[in-house]
Amino acid sequence: MTSAVVMCAATSTEFELDIWSGVRLAQVEQALQQWVTVDAPQGQNHGAPAHLLDAMRYAVLDGGKRLRPLLVLAAHEAVCHGDGVQTLNAAMRAACAVELIHAYSLVHDDMPCMDNDVLRRGKPTVHVQFGEACALLAGDALQALAFELLTPQDGSVPEVTQAHLCALLARAAGSAGMAGGQAIDLASVGLPLTESQLREMHELKTGALLQASVVMGAQCGGPSAQAVAALQTFGAAIGLAFQVVDDILDVTADSSTLGKTAGKDADNNKPTYVALMGLQASQAYAQRLLAQAQCALDGSGLARTQALRALADMVVNRAH
């Protein structure tokens, strides 16, 4: 696997998110193309079977907003003190690893035993395109590959950093994070949830991986304790805001705009913020969460937070 390098962003009062993200998205796509590959990794005798690799690449490449990788790279740039190849390589690996975990979760969530959806990122879901068994295995393989990316054997990422990143990602993806939130979601269909119950579900299902993206990026760059605490708060607020806005878009946008089936939450009688609070109150709540996130950055002691601020604004205001 080849190393990928991302340059630290220069401090600027005029921050252009499109320019910043365009460069980094290209780097992320290049890295994913390299790492989700038929080549046998880490000296193994055999690469992935071709049909399985096709399903994996279909699930990951050429689609998605890549919000999680962008959060990793923005947080890394906020805390890094130079452009050392070692920390930059770790950050790109972390960025791709969280995207692989996100992609695997979508593959499994879309399957008939879960949400039974047929459209994702504007194209047929993986189980529709490749069959249920192959989709299940593709998700499993993407999850495993995420942790392989975080543990290169070439000395390019210090072992202590590898361990820390793996622990953060495992917790965010597991029973105390994304998988646990999905279990609550499936068990809550048709049930009335309180606001605190709904918040807990979404903090796990969606928020945990978004928060982990921010913290993992920061950990690659050697953050202070003050910065870590602030970025944890930032990530938690943005993670919840993302789901609130997702609930809003499910009732205000069409399928072609979303790239997935619109109105499915209501059709399946799933608990959402719009169902609980109403549309206007949900929109106001998303704005309050954005303010919380920006306030956390104000107290971080970090100078280069423009990208994080712009990404937070994009998350919330994509509903307008």
Structure confidence at residue 124 (pLDDT): 93
The strand pair at 119-120 and 123-124 is best described as antiparallel
39: left (phi over 0), alpha (psi -120 to 50) or beta: beta
Q: Judge if pTM exceeds 0.75.
A: yes
Q: Which CATH architecture has domain 17-317?
A: Orthogonal Bundle (1.10)
Contact criterion met (CB below 8 Å) for 229 and 296: no
What's the helix, strand, coil split of the chain in %, to 5?
70, 0, 30
Structure confidence at residue 40 (pLDDT): 46
Structure confidence at residue 11 (pLDDT): 38
Angle CA(33)–CA(28)–CA(31) in degrees, nearest 5?
35
Q: How many CA atoms lie within 13 A of 64 on its CB side?
A: 26
In the beta sheet, which residues pair with residue 218?
Answer: none
Written as one letter, the residue type at 298 is D
Structure confidence at residue 3 (pLDDT): 41
Of 238, 228, 247, 226, nearest to 287 by C-alpha is 238
Contact criterion met (CB below 8 Å) for 191 and 174: no
Residue ranges for the chain with pLDDT beneath 70? 1-13, 38-47, 81-86, 254-268, 319-320
Contact criterion met (CB below 8 Å) for 76 and 91: yes
Contact criterion met (CB below 8 Å) for 169 and 145: no
Give the tens place of pLDDT for each residue, 58-115.
Answer: 999 977 899 999 999 999 999 986 555 668 999 999 999 999 999 999 999 999 999 8
Give the tens place of pLDDT for each residue, 119-134.
Answer: 998 899 999 999 999 9
Structure confidence at residue 4 (pLDDT): 41
